[in-house]
Amino acid sequence: MNGAQPVCARAPRRGRVEHLRHVPGAPALEVRELTVCYRGVPALDAVSLSLAPGERLAVLGPNGAGKSTLLKVIAGVLVPTAGEVRVYGQGPEGHTCIAYLPQRSGVDWTYPLTVADVVAMGRLGRGSWLRRLGAADRARVRDALDQVGLADLARRPIGELSGGQAQRMFIARALAQEAELVLMDEPLAGLDVPAQRDLLALIKGLPGNPTVVVALHELVIARDHFPRILLLRQKVVGLGSPADVFTPDRLREAYGESVELVETPQGTVVVTDSCCGPDPEGGR
> In this predicted structure, what is the pLDDT of residue 130?
42
Give per-residue burial for 257-274: e unless 16+ CB within 10 Å, then b.
Answer: eebebeeeeeebebeebe
With a pLDDT cut of 70, the percent of the chain lying above it is: 81
Q: What is the pTM of this model?
A: 0.84
Alpha-carbon span 196 to 190, nearest angstrom:
9
- 282, pLDDT greater than 50: no
Range of the domain at 208: 29-109+179-273
Q: Minimal CA–CA distance to 69: which of 179, 181, 183?
A: 183
Better-scored residue on pLDDT, 25 or 226:
226
Number of folded domains in the chain?
1
**Mind listing the pLDDT tens digit for each residue in 90-149?**
888 767 789 999 888 778 888 889 999 999 988 876 544 445 778 888 999 999 999 999
What phi and psi, each to the nearest 5 degrees, are found at residue 149? 75, 30
CA 63, 237, 11: angle at the middle one, nearest 5? 75
* Residue 230 located in a structural domain: yes
**Mind listing the pLDDT tens digit for each residue in 23-79?**
888 999 999 999 999 888 899 999 999 999 999 999 999 989 999 999 999 998 899
* Residue 97 located in a structural domain: yes
* Residue 281 located in a structural domain: no
Which burial class, exposed, middle or buried, applies to 187 when counting CB atoms under 10 A from its CB (0-12, 13-18, 19+)? buried
CATH number of domain containing 209: 3.40.50.300
* Residue 173 located in a structural domain: no
Alpha-carbon span 217 to 219, nearest angstrom:
6
Q: Which residues pair with 260 in a beta bridge?
A: 272
* Residue 128 located in a structural domain: no
* Residue 260 located in a structural domain: yes
